[in-house]
Structure 1
Amino acid sequence: MRVVVIGGTGHVGTFLIPRLVEAGHQVICVCRQQRQPYQPHRAWQTVELVSLDRSQLDEQDRFGQAIADLSPQVVIDLICFQLNSAHQLVSALQDRLEHYLHCGTMWVHGHSVVVPTDESQPRHPFGEYGIQKAAIEDFLLRKVDQRRFPATILHPGHLVGPGWLPINPAGNLNPVVFDQLAQGQEVLLPDRGMETLHHVHVDDVALGFMQALTHRAQAVGESFHILSANALTMRGYAEAMAAWYGQLARLRFVPWEEFCQHVSTQDASLTWDHLAHSPHGSIEKARRLLAYNPRYSSLEAIQQALSWLKKQPNPDQE
């Protein structure tokens, strides 16, 4: 089929587009800049690249039509963050698509109530990102005629893979935390470290999209969690990573206010976002309806990403 992937050179697209090409699809990658994917692959040689500035075209109410002009049979939208943009796509593409697949987020659930959380749980989204994504899902699955616009929503957790730094056991992106664990140094964690993080290898997210595309009849009109099989507590994550480095974890648990005194404002903000959400999702629905079977555990995905980063040249030493 003729598949248009919006935002195809980012994290998910880097792994998804080669899968689509190898499955025999004709792939058009829409992105704002002609940037390189995170990982090279020969499949990209057959991909048509189309440069479109979504934000600019959304303001002009022209983005949906620009995608329609590419004559897609399937659209995989990896970067829809505003409800207005979803409205534009539906208006331009209804009655013209076989399948629309939207990349959502576990953030639509807000804080967890029952864990592991399944797709049917009542939602309490907070923060602009989670609220907008929840509104987009509600619009696509509840207010749009699925016969005219067959939509599926996939909700990944914390994306991780070779090419970028994982969310660390303190719930932020400061690489020093991994260095401290590797060197047997003390690591501060807020509260008791029992909040959860739910990583997923980005290639497993790509697999989820492929399975939804393959199992279209079961996928249309539904949302699915696309995650590793199990979440990690922050404490358990830190202990496992220390062991991976050949160390015993030296963890000190401190009240939130004290934790903030030891980290930057940016790190504290990101940590708080992860603490407050504490995602822990079930993949039973995706297993049952899409035959989704993730290859990587959370720890395996994280460790692969860190191993890749370790092999990269250090600019300071060149």
Structure 2
Amino acid sequence: MRTVVIGATGHIGSYLVPRLVRAGHEVVAVSRGTRQPYHEDPAWTRVERVVADRDAEGPEFAARVAALRPDAVVDLMSFDLESTRVLVEALRPTGAFLAHCGTIWVHGPADASPLREDDPREPFGEYGTQKAQIEEFLLAEPGLRCTVLHPGHISGPGWPVITPLGNLDPGVWRALSTGAELLVPGLGLETMHHVHADDVAQGFELALARQDAAAGNSFHVVSDRALTVRGFARAAARWWGREANLRPVSWEEFRAAYPEHADASWEHLSRSHSASTDKARDLLGYRPGFTSLQAARAAVQAMGLLDPAT
């Protein structure tokens, strides 16, 4: 299968491209050419590399992708409906299979747990709303077989990991590693669902291998279980041999204490997502290889904040 991966040197693509090469795909890796893959792998020597800038090239980008004669396209880098629409129009004559990267944020605030793909949705914010629109468009597309995979909070080496407070504040890790007090908004029972980038790559590899099952469907690709704020913080503190020193506060107090990071925390924690992988397991054979905690720990180790020997 000749497979074009858009965003091939990003966090997911860095794992997906070698997976596809080892599975026998003829891989065309499309990227802006501004960076190398996150991880070295000898499989990259067997990959065709194409430099293209989606934003700068406009509709010409989609035409270039179609001209690569793909049997399948994995789109890891579309964040608005119009860009996806243009790509679909270019791919229709090719008959290629299209696998799009979405997000569990298409759900908005959770009404039930774990979330299922067909649960009622109330997305909010530009990112989740745009991804929900893209999914609706692709799964209703009559002229092209499409599937959408929804990762959780992508984690792993080389990528800033969402902390137990739902933000990217390095001070959270410092507090947990030293036993310093950490303010927690509310009771700390909100959930976040992390996933290792290699497990997201696994999901895309399986979708390409099982196109009949994947076409017309969307799937959650996350770890087996989500983590609560409290549980994540307590487990992470033990990486350094500490007990988490958590103090519940109101959101007003939290915003006053962490003004630069409070909005990100609210974006993550107000959704309180825990997503089911049953559909991906049943139809694709998806089996995550990392827990949420393992995925986060790998990222923290790569940041140099944790001794790999501990």
Q: For this structure pair, what is the TM-score category when the shorter chain's length is used for normalisation? A: over 0.9
What amino acid is aligned across from residue 263 of structure 1 in structure 2? Y
Distance in 1, matches of 2:93 and 2:278, equals 31
Whether 1:40 and 2:36 are equivalent positions in the alignment is no
Contact 1:63 1:88 in 2 (8 A): no
1:31 is aligned to: 31
Work out the CA distance in 2 between the residues paired with 1:62 and 1:6: 14
Greater alpha carbon shift after TM alignment, 91-100 vs 3-12: 91-100
Alignment of 1:38-187 (within 5 A): 38-58=38-58, 61-142=59-140, 144-145=141-142, 148-187=143-182
Deviation (angstroms), 1:207: 0.4
Normalised by the length of structure 2, the TM-score is 0.96
Separation in 2, partners of 1:247, 1:70: 53
Moved more, 29-38 or 188-197: 29-38
Q: Deviations over 1:27-63 (max 9, x none)?
A: 11111234111111111112111111101222xx322
Aligned to 2:298: 304
Specify the alignment match of 1:195 in structure 2: 190
**Structure 1 residue 87 displacement after superposition:** 1.0
Query: In structure 1, the residue corresponding to 2:136 is in which secondary structure?
Result: helix
Q: Match for residue 210 of structure 1?
A: 205
1:242 and 2:237 matched: yes
Cα distance in 2, alignment partners of residues 28 and 86 from structure 1: 19
Counterparts of 1:215 and 1:26 in 2: how far apart (Å)? 17
Letter in 2 for 1:299: L
Whether the aligned pair in 2 keeps the contact of 1:194 and 1:233 (CA below 8 Å) is yes
Using the TM superposition, give the Cα deviation of residue 276 of structure 1 relative to its aligned residue in structure 2, in angstroms: 1.8
Identity of aligned residues (%): 49
**Structure 1: distance between partners of 2:85 and 2:64:** 14
Aligned position for 1:315: none
Following superposition, the deviation at residue 165 of structure 1 comes to 2.5
Amino acid at match of 1:287: R
Structure 1 position 249, deviation (Å): 1.1
Runs of 4+ in structure 1 off by over 6 angstroms are: none
Q: Secondary structure at the match of 2:293?
A: helix
TM-score by length of 1: 0.94
- Which residues of structure 2 form unaligned runs of 5+? none
State how far apart, in whole Å, the 2-side matches of 1:311 and 1:28 are.
35
SS of 2:94 mapped into structure 1: coil
Deviations 1:115-159 (A, max 9, x none): 1000010110100111110001100102x11xx301010000000
The CA RMSD measured in Å over matched residues stands at: 1.4
- 3-state SS of the aligned residue for 2:179? coil
Q: Distance in 1 between matches of 2:291 and 2:17?
A: 22
Gaps of 5+ in 1: 313-318
User: How far apart, CA to CA, are the structure 1 residues paired with 2:31 and 2:238?
Assistant: 40
Residues 156-181 of structure 1, C-alpha deviation per residue, up to 9 Å, x if partnerless?
00000011221001110011111111
Please state whether the residue corresponding to 1:62 is helix, strand or coil. Answer: helix
Cα distance between partner residues in 2 of 1:259 and 1:124: 26
Amino acid at match of 1:75: V
- One-letter code of the match for 2:168? L
- What is the identity, as a one-letter code, of the residue corresponding to 2:162? I
Paired positions, count: 307
Letter paired with 2:284: L
Question: Is the CA contact (8 Å cut-off) linking 1:199 and 1:228 kept in structure 2?
Answer: yes
Q: Which moved more, 1:289-298 or 1:241-250?
A: 241-250
In 2, the alpha carbon distance for the partners of 1:222 and 1:260 equals 39
Alpha-carbon separation, structure 2, partners of 1:164 and 1:216: 29
Q: Residue type matched to 1:27 in 2?
A: V
Does 2:266 match 1:272?
A: yes
CA–CA distance in structure 2, aligned partners of residues 95 and 164 of structure 1: 37
Name the CA distance, whole Å, in 2 between partners of 1:228 and 1:95.
Answer: 36
